[in-house]
Amino acid sequence: MKVNGIDKSTPMDRPVWLEQLDVHDQWNFMARRETPTQRLDRNYAEILQEVRVVQTGVQLLLAFLLTVAFTPRFATVTEFERRVYVGALVLGAAANALLIAPAAFHRLVFQRRLKRQLVLASNRFALFGLVLLTLSINSALLLILSVTVGPEVAIWITAGALGWFALWWYAVPLWSRVKHSVVIGSENQSATTDWRQTDQPQAE
């Protein structure tokens, strides 16, 4: 019998199917006694929790942008500010669509044994949704600053804000990922060696 493409016919075959896993699944099995399916369930739950946090900000941003067009002051905005508004609104709606996409994807592949594909797709949806959310927030900031302090100053301030978002949302996590990649690689190798040694018969 195969589960997620892995042959698990009998308990005696455990070293065989475990060896077919990638290094991350092997490490999780050794560190958490977590099967690949349990790991996928946990990963999907973590993604949904993160998306819930982000969606609060998206909904507040969209609510603000949708009401702006119906205010009396909107009729006096310049063509530049009108284009910035349209861009912020479209980017916010696109970000919202991507952040809701994991739920829609799950409904359509429900009971199809496609949890791995669901997790991979949801991860991409969340990443691209964050990128669009970053652009939408800064577009809204540019619009407000352009009305209050003028477009020239607004562009400089927004550029600084965009860099601030990029630093903490992307640069720092990527730097940490690269910095610790060697450590993670050595841990995975150690875990693989440990389970292989554990499954070997002990000399009497």
Sign of CA dihedral 148, 151, 157, 161: positive
Radius of gyration for the chain, computed over Cα atoms and rounded to the nearest angstrom: 24
Q: Where are the beta strands (DSSP E) in the chain?
A: 2-3, 6-7
pLDDT band at 27 (very low <50, low <70, confident <90, very high): confident
2-35: burial string, b at 16+ Cβ within 10 Å, e else: eebebebeeeeeeeebbeebeeebbbbbbeeebb
CA distance 139 to 86: 9
Across all residues in the chain, what is the average pLDDT?
83
pLDDT tens across 131-183, in order?
A: 999 999 999 999 999 999 999 999 999 999 999 999 999 999 999 988 887 65
Note the pLDDT tens digit of each residue in 69-96. 899 888 889 999 999 999 999 999 999 9
Which pLDDT score is estimated for 192?
A: 53
Rounded mean pLDDT, 51-57: 91
